[in-house]
């Protein structure tokens, strides 16, 4: 079985995003970029499935600027076999991403698509569900445990109130939550090996083109800032302030 893993290059999770003064977006110039953390978890899970003998090949795909090759390279160093970059300088919406990924999936014929539940830039939490719907495949989002058993996947999902386990017929789309695994650091020899792995550079036109956008961002603004309050010396002072000043208890 082939596993397709879509990965997104995003602002590093340790960096605090700053809004541009002209309100057109978030300033990404000279900001550290990394693989979206949830995509890293998806890559790790794919590599573990390959190590268990469940998967033969891991194909990593990213839609983004030329620098997204670095993100793909990181995934190859973790154990991916080859990469596809669908190069575009546009910042495609989830629906556009899902349509391109559908075309990639149709070209590659994976038995499983493993991806992140959410990209930490747009916080959309949408592409996996949309891809699954467009392909007509079953979905399991927010996975914290995955078991592949022949032609089915059993997936434990994080839901409100606890956990839910579903069984899906393959091929399927599964999105990773934080507790699915802890991604490995690529070793130096694997980083060297990854340099020799192929990354095919494609354009959106190779996968049906970038369909028109449905959304227009009118502005991006900074949220109201919270100001730090006061330090209290004792628990008794805290209780008294919560009662009389704040009136919340």
Ligand X SMILES: Nc1ncnc2c1ncn2[C@@H]1O[C@H](COP(=O)(O)O)[C@@H](O)[C@H]1O
- When the beta carbons of 24 and 198 are compared against other proteins, the nearer one is 24
32, interface contact from ligand X, other proteins, ligand FAD, none, CB < 5-8 Å by kind: none
DSSP H or E run through 78: helix 68-78
Closest distance of CB 78 from other proteins, Å? 20
The span from the CA of 18 to the CA of 222, in Å, is: 8
Among 12, 18, 66, 107, the residue binding other proteins under the rule CB under 8 A is 18
The span from the CA of 226 to the CA of 194, in Å, is: 45
The span from the CA of 73 to the CA of 83, in Å, is: 8
Minimal CB distance to ligand X: which residue? 116
Residues 105-144 that bind ligand FAD (CB under 6 A): 120
Our finding on whether 98 is near other proteins (CB under 8 A) is yes
The span from the CA of 185 to the CA of 182, in Å, is: 10
Closest distance of CB 51 from other proteins, Å? 22
Instruction: Please tell me whether the peptide bond between 171 and the residue prior to it is cis, using omega within 30 degrees of 0.
Output: yes
The span from the CA of 103 to the CA of 98, in Å, is: 9
Closest distance of CB 118 from ligand FAD, Å? 8
Q: Which residues pair with 112 in a beta bridge?
A: 3, 172
- When the beta carbons of 126 and 191 are compared against other proteins, the nearer one is 126
What's the residue count for the chain? 249
**Closest C-alpha to 167, from 143, 199, 134, 196:** 143
Among 33, 35, 39, 105, the residue binding ligand X under the rule CB under 6 A is 39
Residues that bind ligand FAD (CB under 6 A): 13, 37, 120
Residues that bind ligand X (CB under 6 A): 6-8, 36, 38-39, 62-64, 94, 97, 115-116, 118-119, 122, 124-128
């Amino acid at each position: 079985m082939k596993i397709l893993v879509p990965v997104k290059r995003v602002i590093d999770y340790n960096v605090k995003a700053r809004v541009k003064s002209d309100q057109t977006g978030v300033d990404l110039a000279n900001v550290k970029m990394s693989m979206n953390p949830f995509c890293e978890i998806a890559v790790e899970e794919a590599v573990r499935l390959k190590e268990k003998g469940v998967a033969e090949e891991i194909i990593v795909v990213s839609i983004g600027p030329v620098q997204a090759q670095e993100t793909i390279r990181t995934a190859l160093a973790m154990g991916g076999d080859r990469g596809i970059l669908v190069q575009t300088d546009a910042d495609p919406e989830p629906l556009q991403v899902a349509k391109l990924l559908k075309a990639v999936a149709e070209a590659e014929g994976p038995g499983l698509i493993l991806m992140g539940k959410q990209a930490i830039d747009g916080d959309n939490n949408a592409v996996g569900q949309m891809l699954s719907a467009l392909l007509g495949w079953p979905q399991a989002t927010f996975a914290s445990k995955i078991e592949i058993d022949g032609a089915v996947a059993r997936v434990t999902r994080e839901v409100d109130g606890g956990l839910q386990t579903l069984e899906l017929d393959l091929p399927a789309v599964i999105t990773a939550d934080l507790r699915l695994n802890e991604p490995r650091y690529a070793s130096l020899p694997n980083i060297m090996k990854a340099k020799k792995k192929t990354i095919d550079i494609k354009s959106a036109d190779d996968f049906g083109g970038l369909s028109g956008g449905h959304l227009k961002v009118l502005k991006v603004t900074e949220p109201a800032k919270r100001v730090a309050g006061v330090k209290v010396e004792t628990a008794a002072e805290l209780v008294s302030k919560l009662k009389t000043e704040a009136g919340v208890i």
